[in-house]
Amino acid sequence: MLLSMKTTFLGATRAIFYKDLQAELRGRDLIGAMSLFALLAVLVFSFALELDRIARAESISGVLWVTIIFASILGLNRSMAQERDQGNFDALLIAPIDRAALFAGKLAGNFVFVTVVALVIVPLMTIIYNITLINGWVLVTLVLGTFGVTVIGTLLSAMTVQTRGREALLPIVMLPITLPLLLAAVRATTSILQGAEPDTWLFWIGLLAALDVIFLTMSVLLFGYVVEE
């Protein structure tokens, strides 16, 4: 019985993930829009922050994470809006699958898309800002940060997609909640890039991991209630 439930959960999660992946590979609307937004945001920040190298090193972490969060909001909004407009979301809700599997499948797809865009931003900012962002610990921070953003964003986009002002409501609801995550990610990235002692940035990376666990637990528990309402 337990094995059957596990198989059903994993099978439903995999099916939803593959559906989103195949839809994106056919249309390339989501990653394309997010990447274009990220590129424009990085260029705008680059022109607006005409600073010396030291000031750039101090501000580049903030630019990186603000760009990732706003690109994520754009992508999550479009992803859920497409599901809702095409009727797919309602079909998934009436399907005989666990709500946690639905959340896990949507989360897996969104996480892949956001991570791809984040990995595109890193070499781009390395070139534009002339500061090396390609670092193992920076990439660890990037994965942990994008996972946390995607977890809470998947939950909130499922909630706001059912409202009329979903494009405006998602950032209003999401940004305050992701502030602790943003703070930890920026502090960790800045400390790593400035060559600080490992104890300094390991603390912030640990905090990021803890926030990811908290957000994931809350989202799994609340997702069924959110989509039913």
Q: For 175-191, what is each residue's pLDDT tens digit?
A: 899 999 999 999 999 88
Q: Say if residues 76 and 170 touch (Cβ distance below 8 Å).
A: yes
Half-sphere exposure of 93 (CA within 13 A, CB side): 14
For 155-166, b/e burial (b = at least 16 CB within 10 A) is bbbbbbbeeeeb
Enumerate residues 6+ apart whose C-beta is below 8 A from 74: 33, 34, 37
Whether 164 shows a pLDDT value over 90: the answer reads no
DSSP string, 29-87: HHHHHHHHHHHHHHHHHHHH----HHHHHHHHHHHHHHHHHHHHHHHHHHHHHHHHHTT
C-alpha to C-alpha distance for 110 and 157, rounded to whole angstroms:
11
Query: Strand, helix or coil at 130?
Result: coil
Higher pLDDT, 77 or 95: 77
pLDDT band at 93 (very low <50, low <70, confident <90, very high): low
User: Given its phi and psi angles, is residue 186 left (phi above 0), alpha (psi -120 to 50 degrees) or beta?
Assistant: alpha
Q: Which two tokens stand for residue 92?
A: 């998934």
- Give the pLDDT of residue 6: 46
Provide mean pLDDT across the span 69-94: 76
Query: Average pLDDT, stretch 7-29?
Result: 77
Over residues 35-40, mean pLDDT: 88
At residue 2, does pLDDT exceed 60?
A: no
Q: Which of 186, 195, 184, 181 is nearest to 135 (CA)?
A: 195
Across all residues in the chain, what is the average pLDDT? 82
Question: What six digits make up the tokens of 229?
Answer: 């309402």
Mean pLDDT, to the nearest integer, of 33-48? Answer: 84
Supply 156's token pair. 């909130």
Question: What mean pLDDT is predicted for residues 134-163?
Answer: 88
Q: How large a percentage of the chain has pLDDT more than 90?
A: 22
- The Cα 134–Cα 119 span in angstroms is 10
